Chains A and B, each alone.
Chain A
Amino acid sequence: MHNPQLYSDGQLRHLLSIEGLPKKILNQILDTAESFVGVAEREVKKVPLLRGKTVCNLFFENSTRTRTTFEIAAKRLSADVISLNVNTSSQSKGETILDTVDNLIAMHADMFVVRHAQSGAAHFIAKHVPEHIHIINAGDGRHSHPTQGLLDVFTIRKYKPDLHNLRVAIVGDILHSRVARSEIHALTTLGVPEVRVIAPKTLLPAEVEKLGVHVYHDMRAGLKDVDVIMMLRLQNERMSGAMLPSAQEYFKTYGLTQEKLILAKPDAIVLHPGPMNRGVEIDSGVADGQQSVILPQVTYGIAIRMAVMAILAGGQPSGNQS
């Protein structure tokens, strides 16, 4: 079957979702990111790879961290970066997404980083663009957020190098979370033997077991002996209707507190994709505690995004590669 993310020779052409990417490509991205981590610690925090290339951040949905880290990543690769916010662009005057993209291609943009509230938006643009243009999905609806999934496994790998020996729990609003979906695909593709999801029934998608995860509704049972806890943000803005009694009630049952953290392995690490709702899904003491790797996630996110951009921009339609 044709995979829109890959060239016919199997090289990465776009990054749209982790689902459908072979382990080899995921490892290529993670290993390349390893080389980019050190760049940020040097006197000159830049490499010349994307000199002369133009990266367009197309954000049809608000985001601070993701947009900033993509922008920093592109700039550390020496690309020129344009960040377009939908509220201030022609979209508000009625221009279609594809017209916006076509206009930017006419201005010789080489790569688009796309975030959109609609699932499938990045795929839609990827189908439309000429072969030398690369698309990176920076989050589409409930569907996928591949660079977040990759930076999470990268962070895990930094602290727990043997992925084949891990028990990982993803906690919270799985239903609305493109992050959870990307994490699950990344973890299972890379061979993590046990991935648990912990959530109330109302925040779990139907047939979530088919993704290869173990389902828990009780936090205490689910956290027992895990090596990694990946918390999710309670997505208030995506929630229509009352799926939960209240934020306080949620915190009591599914919030990560010090006394629940003790149930995991003593050296377990805690991740959160941000932005955090302190006191809703995670206790401040845990978020700032010894086992938290939430800020390293942000740092590694830049290296991952640099790796993805560097691999994509160097990719060629097969046959052109000497």
Chain B
Amino acid sequence: MTTDQSQLPDAEALINILADKLQPLLQKNTALVGIQSGGVWVMQRLLAKLAKTMATHTIEHGTLDVSFYRDDYAKRGLKPGNQPSQIAFDVENKHIILIDDVFFTGRTTRAAMNELFDYGRPASITLIALVNRGGRELPISPQITAMDLSLKPTENLQLIQLADGQLGFTLKLLTPSNHQAVSKHA
């Protein structure tokens, strides 16, 4: 079931806002880590924008697929289509900027932090998200967002890749049968 899509935020505009807010945080020892799959798209956009303004050095970055760390594995099993996590740099003592597309319950962030620590002990982790849609279930929230919303638990906001390569959002209404599944997932 789909709702009116015309009111949805402009993802590309939000990425510009996020890039501006992110820039002051970057130091020499900073590395970016995108969470599959939306967080990785956002990270790639941010890297491209930051490269234009900061020609001095390339920013270390990597990706996480938190499938092996999710708290709902016992209920849902392993989804097909998971991607290898790729952290090619040394996490030890890095200031990590963890990037998600839509922040919801905080469960993905918890899984991502657990995985990150299996690579090493970072100096700090900062969570940034394109949108905080409201509804956290853990004492975790993003330090930086481009937009904050208060969506109903039955609404599912997702970042998608459009046919022209641009990023956009879709908002779907969950039916009771798939509500549990998706709310645990976001």
Binding site for B on A (CB under 8 A): 11, 28, 31-32, 34-35, 37-39, 42-44, 46-49, 310-311, 314-316, 321-322
Contacts and interface: CB of A to CB of B under 8 A. Distances in A.
B73 interface: yes
Contacts of B82: 31-32, 35
B67 A35 contact: yes
Interface in B57-104: 65, 67-69, 73-78, 80-87, 91
A43 B85 contact: no
B23 interface: no
Nearest to A311: B78
18 contacts: A31-B80, A32-B82, A35-B65, A35-B67, A35-B82, A38-B85, A42-B87, A42-B119, A43-B118, A43-B120, A47-B115, A47-B118, A48-B69, A49-B78, A310-B68, A315-B77, A321-B76, A321-B77
B44 interface: no
B181 A322 contact: yes
Given A31-B81, A35-B85, A42-B119, A49 B68 contact: yes
B180 interface: yes
Contacts of A42: 87, 118-119
B77 A311 contact: yes
B29 interface: no
B114 interface: yes
A28 B82 CA distance: 10
B72 to A, nearest CB: 9
B118 A35 contact: no
Contact of B68 (A11, A47, A316): A47
A322 B76 contact: yes
B78 A38 contact: no
Contacts of A11: 77
Contacts, number: 61
B88 to A, nearest CB: 10
Contact of A316 (B67, B77, B87): B77
B13 to A, nearest CB: 34
Given A43-B120, A44-B118, A46-B118, A322 B75 contact: yes
For the complex of A and B, list the 9 residue pairs with the smallest distance between their C-beta atoms, beginning with the closest: A314-B77, A44-B118, A47-B68, A35-B84, A314-B78, A322-B181, A28-B80, A322-B180, A38-B84
Contacts of A47: 68-69, 115, 118
Contacts of A43: 91, 118-120
Contacts of B86: 38
Contacts of B115: 47
Contact of B83 (A35, A44, A49): A35
Contacts of B73: 49, 314
Nearest to A46: B118
A43 B77 CA distance: 25
B37 to A, nearest CB: 13
Contacts of B65: 35
Contacts of B83: 35
B141 to A, nearest CB: 23
A49 B114 CA distance: 12
A8 to B, nearest CB: 15
A32 B180 CA distance: 25
Contacts of B117: 44
A229 B181 CA distance: 45
B123 to A, nearest CB: 15
Interface string B117-136: 11110000000000000000
A311 B83 CA distance: 15
A35 B67 CA distance: 10
Contacts of A311: 77-78
B11 to A, nearest CB: 27
B77 A48 contact: no
A35 B75 CA distance: 21
A46 B81 CA distance: 20
Contacts of A39: 68
Nearest to B85: A38
Contacts of B76: 314, 321-322
Contacts of A37: 84
Nearest to B75: A322
Nearest to B77: A314
B165 to A, nearest CB: 25
A37 B77 CA distance: 19
Contacts of B77: 11, 311, 314-316, 321
Contacts of A31: 80-82
* Most chain A C-beta atoms within 10 Å of own C-beta, residue among B69, B74, B77, B119: B77
Contacts of A316: 75, 77
A314 B74 contact: yes
